[in-house]
Structure 1
């Protein structure tokens, strides 16, 4: 009987590694989309507005981000978001301490109601790759 010698076991290990790397990078068809860092300032009646968080929502993908507005009216989303068109609206401030007791949620009635919903907000921005700085002026 003639014995056939299989390839070296190291060859199979290298082949498996190549297949795993290929499967995780190329065969899924997903491309890494460019992202932008988003920060800026919220202005209402000529002054920095601080009583909310700001939300960026891409209606096409459902992706986005949000951040509390700081004491000087500034905000910065904690993570970069994919480039694209985003509707911008306000939401009640998020609790910074997840262990803290929940507080009642309320919205500031001095700000027009349209700014408190993605369905009615008329604020829209195009997020580009890299740093994006937006001044968002809420109209009374």
Structure 2
């Protein structure tokens, strides 16, 4: 019994064609960078946090000594509440005295609360620059 190669080639071609056309269901996303200042002076520590209640997701980035931040992962496009938080406290160390205190004056309370900060960002596809100039 001789099998025709035509149906086999047609089948194989269809499988290859369809496997390449599946696409991805990855939602559009944007990169976020910016600079954080307090009364015009670069903030040299802390964390910028983004959260979307509608999307149920968000991200955060540490503020560098130059006052800049960059989210390590893109965020899905949409509206985000933004907060600026003090850096996390270092873990306790046995036998090593910890004398690290965060200057709360650098982080006014209203910028730590997403309901009071009045900081929002509509993230769009591509690059998003969001500079924050906090006031005391």
Give TM-score, length-normalised by structure 2.
Answer: 0.70
Cα drift, residue 18 of structure 1: 8.6
2:111 aligned counterpart, secondary structure: helix
1:114 aligned counterpart, secondary structure: helix
**Unpaired stretches in structure 2, ≥5 consecutive residues:** 1-6, 93-99
Change (3 A) 1:47 1:54: same
Query: Given the alignment of the two structures, is residue 87 of structure 1 paired with residue 81 of structure 2, yes or no?
Result: yes
Distance 1:108 1:123 in 2: 21
Query: Given the alignment of the two structures, is residue 46 of structure 1 paired with residue 40 of structure 2, yes or no?
Result: yes
Cα drift, residue 59 of structure 1: 1.7
Aligned residue in 1 for 2:104: 109
Structure 2 matches for 1:1-140, cutoff 5 A?
A: 32-33=27-28, 35-93=29-87, 102-103=90-91, 108-110=103-105, 111-140=107-136
Distance 1:65 1:77 in 2: 7
Aligned residue in 2 for 1:4: none
1:119 aligned counterpart, secondary structure: coil
Cα drift, residue 134 of structure 1: 1.2
Distance 2:101 2:56 in 1: 24
